[in-house]
Amino acid sequence: MIRDVGAESFAEVHGYGSMSSDAKTPLYPGSTNFTRLSAMLRSMNLKAINKWTDKSFTKLLQLLKDVLPEGNTLPNHNYEAKNILFPIVWSIKRYMHVLIIAYMKDFELLKSCLRCGLSPFKLKQKDDDTIEEIEKHGPPMKVMCYLPIISRMKRLFENPNDAKNLRWHADERKCDGM
């Protein structure tokens, strides 16, 4: 991807510096086979293929960190491993309780939805079988994630070959009236 887009434009993206330094950092002193980035890529590939949970992968990383020689750069947790591989943060917007989206800015801190009256927060059950609402800043009942269209379109058109393919219908298609 860096080769297609060009290192200059990719360097502007948040996270490029950390990824390039991780690609040069050896996994442990004297390692010639693995860099920090390559080890994480292969480990995450195994995690995905074998459908490991985040918890089991964290335990594996902790074991490998203990097994490898002192001074290794392997992360301790799944969260740290993801940050090595995915430093480019998309501008994801998260909205809790989807019905409140209609009233976003003015009413997003309400205790109940104006339209349906439901609470946007999870309910917990007490020992005596009564249900009580969790505090206002507790976990939301439902969360909707939204990727803004502008950032998605920018990423689609960054690669010149992909941009050409995306515009094929307008630029190169034969218009013969059929």
Q: Give CA–CA dist 56/63, Å, rounded.
A: 11
Q: Give CA–CA dist 169/172, Å, rounded.
A: 6
User: In the structure, what pLDDT confidence band is assigned to residue 58 with cuts at 50, 70 and 90?
Assistant: very high
158-177 pLDDT tens trace? 888 888 888 887 787 777 77
Residue 143's H or E segment, with its range, is strand 143-146
Judge whether residue 64 has pLDDT over 90. Answer: yes
Answer yes or no: are the C-beta atoms of 159 and 5 closer than 8 Å. yes
Q: Give CA–CA dist 100/115, Å, rounded.
A: 8
Answer yes or no: are the C-beta atoms of 34 and 27 closer than 8 Å. yes
User: In the structure, what pLDDT confidence band is assigned to residue 102 with cuts at 50, 70 and 90?
Assistant: very low
User: By percentage, how much of the chain surpasses pLDDT 70?
Assistant: 63
Exposure letters 49-83 (e unless 16+ CB within 10 A, then b): eeebeeeebbeebeebeeebeeebbbbeebeebee
Domain boundaries, the chain: 2-90, 93-146
Mean pLDDT value of segment 134-140? 59
Q: What angle do CA 97, 140, 99 make, to 5 degrees?
A: 5
83-94 pLDDT tens trace? 888 765 556 676
Residues forming a β-bridge with 144: 95
Amino acid letter, 75:
P
Mean pLDDT value of segment 33-53? 92
